[in-house]
Amino acid sequence: MNAPPPGRLGRLAATALAVTALALAGCSAGGAPAASPVDTPSDTLRYAAPSAGRAATNDPHGLLPGESDIVRMALTYDVLTVPGPDGAPQPRLATAWTPDDTLTRWTVTLRDDAAFSDGRPVTATDVLFSLRRMGGKAAENFGRLAMFDLAASSASDSATLLLVTTAPYAEVGTALMGATFVVPAATTDFTAGLVPGSGPFRPTGGDAQTTVFERNDEWWGPPPPSRVIEVRAIADPAARVQAVQSGEVDLAGSVPAVSVVPAEAAGFTAVRKPGATMYPVVMRTDTAPFDDPRVREAVKLATDRQQLLDTVFLGQGELGNDLITPTDPSSPRDLPQRTPDLDRARALMTEAGLAAGVDVTLHTTTAYPGMDTTATLLAQQLAPIGIRATVQIGPPDTYFVDVYGTEPFYVSFLGGIPFLDVVRVALTPGSPTNETAWADPSWASALATALADPDAATRGDKLGELQARLRDEGGYLVWGVGDRVDLAAPGVTGVSSAIGFGAGFVDQVTPPS
């Protein structure tokens, strides 16, 4: 028979592979010089933004699952206030927000020099329309504007807005921070594309992955250093790292901790954003055995926080002190760090009548990297005090439907949001997302008192005390907070270290020269 020798086959395959690769690479090498002035002019910033892997949404007021969508909105539209470097609100479209004596009626003054891309000036009517639209989509945006009575709010004149809150609320600047994207009044269709905005950039094209923005030279704010920003939505964190390391993009948002050290050695800049990622462990305060505060304290004392931080975040972050928002300006900074104390934890378990131990199920998922490891490690750490935790890993698509806000013991997720946002989402009695079943009436009334305090300093102290009480009595085990790290190519500057919505603003980033 004329069978080929075995070696021939391998050679054939290898040759085919190499020829194809070389041919295609050759084609592109020929095309590269012509293409490069278009692809990488020094006034273009190419940003690989984290995405949820979903098709882009064009509705700025509903659910914004991927950060790439927030970035697109933040370039296109103005917001009322933005988080500053310390997390406190800074003016943007709103230049001032002042209350009456009751702290329930707020006069918000708007810039008079902002205009939509279709030429119309931005007025209080547009702002009110946008806020009401957000209010109508409360189910999708975590009730972001729930503190306002938007029906009773009104536009006083073209540049002044009267915002009414349902109860005294001193932190209106924070409430308007980040997501209050302003669109022209009476806009109804948000599915066809981005509607005219008054932001620092204007969308000019793109495809399913990329939106190309050009600088809006009429924008009222500081002139952005780049003329063009290409926002690419890339779901895979490893692909974002590869993209910046191979020079395909200039900036990659939120890269895996493991890639940071090698990238820095190769000359890339790692921009660290402390406090961005948190996997708090939820213990429902209305369900046994966690309805006993001694059991909750025992769990907090049995946890080896350093081991969790080193394993889950590879040490890139801070130890948790059970404070739910450690980077919030009002979070208390002077409390001693909680350290493992197994003897005390065992004593507490005995006091709670659980000297013989207890069986529990610890739920977790793989929605965010390390959530599963968190549960596995914690289950091991709790064994010595008699808590026999069975780890159950749920599918990521239904975790936030089936487990979140339902199960008594699970690994949750919080990503760099301010204290009052956590309060609204997770610490409001009766809310389906009150995951720890936190319903202490004295705490709630102390919160109302704090929010009715017009003095920023004493209000901050009061909010800090609330967080300290929650640390000791509440159902959250906060073992650590992970940094978010963005990777920038050499020469890229101005990447903000803000977290949460603040991370979505890239208009002042300088592209590589």
Partner 1 sequence: MSLRVAGALLRAGALLLAAAVAVFAATAALPADAIAVRSGGRIEGEQLAALRAAAGLDRPVVVRFLDWLGGLLTGDPGASLVSGRPVAELVGQRALVSAVLVVGALVLAVPLAVALARSRGTAAGVLVVAAAALPPVVVGVGLAALLAGGWQLVPPVSLLPAGRPPWSRPALLVLPVLTLALPTAAYAAGQLRGTVADVIARPFVRDAELRGVPGPAVALRYVGPLVAAPALRVLAVSAGALVAGTTVVETLFGMSGLGELLVAAVRTRDVPVVQAVALLAAAVVVAGLLLADLAAAATSSGPARRGRRA
Sole binder of partner 1 in the list 33, 37, 119, 205 (CB under 8 A): 205
Is 398 among the residues that bind partner 1 (CB under 8 A)?
A: yes
In this structure, are residues 228 and 215 in contact, taking their beta carbons and an 8 Å threshold? yes
How would you class 181 by CB atoms within 10 Å of its CB: exposed for 0-12, middle for 13-18, buried for 19 or more?
A: buried
Task: Note every long-range contact of 186-195, with CB atoms under 8 Å and residues 24 or more positions apart, other chains counting.
Answer: 186/129, 187/129, 190/58, 190/59, 190/60, 190/61, 191/58, 191/59, 192/58, 193/58, 194/58, 194/72, 194/73, 194/76, 195/58
Is 6 among the residues that bind partner 1 (CB under 8 A)?
A: yes
Is 52 among the residues that bind partner 1 (CB under 8 A)?
A: yes
Rounded to the nearest 5 percent, the helix, strand and coil shares of the chain are 35, 20, 45
Q: What residues pair up with 273 in beta bridges, in sequence order? A: 484
Is 102 among the residues that bind partner 1 (CB under 8 A)?
A: no
Question: Closest approach of Cβ 192 to partner 1, in Å?
Answer: 8
Sole binder of partner 1 in the list 58, 76, 254, 381 (CB under 8 A): 58
Question: Closest approach of Cβ 32 to partner 1, in Å?
Answer: 8
- The Cβ-side half-sphere exposure at 9, using a 13 Å CA radius, reads 4
Alpha carbon distances (Å) from 14 to 2, 11, 24: 21, 5, 15
Question: Closest approach of Cβ 237 to partner 1, in Å?
Answer: 10
Cis ω for the linkage preceding 512 (within 30 of 0): no
Question: Closest approach of Cβ 189 to partner 1, in Å?
Answer: 9
Is 265 among the residues that bind partner 1 (CB under 8 A)?
A: no
Spatial separation of the C-alpha atoms in residues 506 and 294, rounded to whole Å: 46
CA angle 195, 151, 104 (to 5 degrees): 115
Sole binder of partner 1 in the list 92, 133, 240, 305 (CB under 8 A): 240
Query: 176 CB contacts (<8 Å, ≥6 apart)?
Result: 79, 80, 81, 89, 94, 97, 108
Task: Compare residues 122 and 263 and give the one whose CB is closer to partner 1.
Answer: 263
Task: Compare residues 29 and 288 and give the one whose CB is closer to partner 1.
Answer: 29
Q: CA 352, 354, 357, 362 torsion: positive or negative?
A: negative
Is 35 among the residues that bind partner 1 (CB under 8 A)?
A: yes
Is 401 among the residues that bind partner 1 (CB under 8 A)?
A: yes
DSSP 8-state code for residue 54? S
Is 235 among the residues that bind partner 1 (CB under 8 A)?
A: yes
Sole binder of partner 1 in the list 256, 318, 400, 439 (CB under 8 A): 400
Which among 30-38, 158-166, 295-303, 336-344 is the span making contact with partner 1, rule CB under 8 A? 30-38
Sole binder of partner 1 in the list 230, 250, 297, 421 (CB under 8 A): 230
Query: 37 CB contacts (<8 Å, ≥6 apart)?
Result: none
Is 190 among the residues that bind partner 1 (CB under 8 A)?
A: yes
- The H-assigned helical ranges of 181-280 are 237-245, 260-265
Is 406 among the residues that bind partner 1 (CB under 8 A)?
A: yes
Question: Closest approach of Cβ 74 to partner 1, in Å?
Answer: 18
Tokens of 42: 């020094």
Is 207 among the residues that bind partner 1 (CB under 8 A)?
A: yes
Spatial separation of the C-alpha atoms in residues 394 and 372, rounded to whole Å: 9
Is 182 among the residues that bind partner 1 (CB under 8 A)?
A: no
Question: Closest approach of Cβ 424 to partner 1, in Å?
Answer: 11
In this structure, are residues 323 and 271 in contact, taking their beta carbons and an 8 Å threshold? no
Question: Closest approach of Cβ 479 to partner 1, in Å?
Answer: 23
Is 12 among the residues that bind partner 1 (CB under 8 A)?
A: yes
Instruction: Give the DSSP per-residue string, 437-488.
Output: ----HHHHHHHHHHHT---HHHHHHHHHHHHHHHHHHSSEE--EEEEEEEEE
Closest by Cα among 144, 173, 149 to 423: 144
* Residue in this structure with the two tokens 């990488």, named with its chain if needed: 40
Question: Closest approach of Cβ 358 to partner 1, in Å?
Answer: 26
Q: Footprint of partner 1 on residues 328-367 (CB under 8 A)?
A: none
Which among 83-91, 111-119, 320-328, 404-412 is the span making contact with partner 1, rule CB under 8 A? 404-412
Is 286 among the residues that bind partner 1 (CB under 8 A)?
A: no
Task: Compare residues 13 and 96 and give the one whose CB is closer to partner 1.
Answer: 13
For partner 1, how many residues bind (rule: CB under 8 A)? 75
Spatial separation of the C-alpha atoms in residues 302 and 305, rounded to whole Å: 9
Question: Closest approach of Cβ 502 to partner 1, in Å?
Answer: 22
Task: Compare residues 158 and 366 and give the one whose CB is closer to partner 1.
Answer: 366
Task: Compare residues 66 and 386 and give the one whose CB is closer to partner 1.
Answer: 66
Task: Compare residues 203 and 474 and give the one whose CB is closer to partner 1.
Answer: 203
Task: Compare residues 20 and 156 and give the one whose CB is closer to partner 1.
Answer: 20
* Residue in this structure with the two tokens 């095309």, named with its chain if needed: 31
Q: Footprint of partner 1 on residues 409-448 (CB under 8 A)?
A: 425, 432-433
Task: Compare residues 46 and 296 and give the one whose CB is closer to partner 1.
Answer: 46
Mark residue 379 as left, alpha or beta (left: phi above 0; alpha: psi -120 to 50; beta: remaining).
Answer: alpha
Question: Closest approach of Cβ 295 to partner 1, in Å?
Answer: 24
State the binding string over 114-153 for partner 1 (x if CB under 8 A, else -): -------------------------xx-xx----------
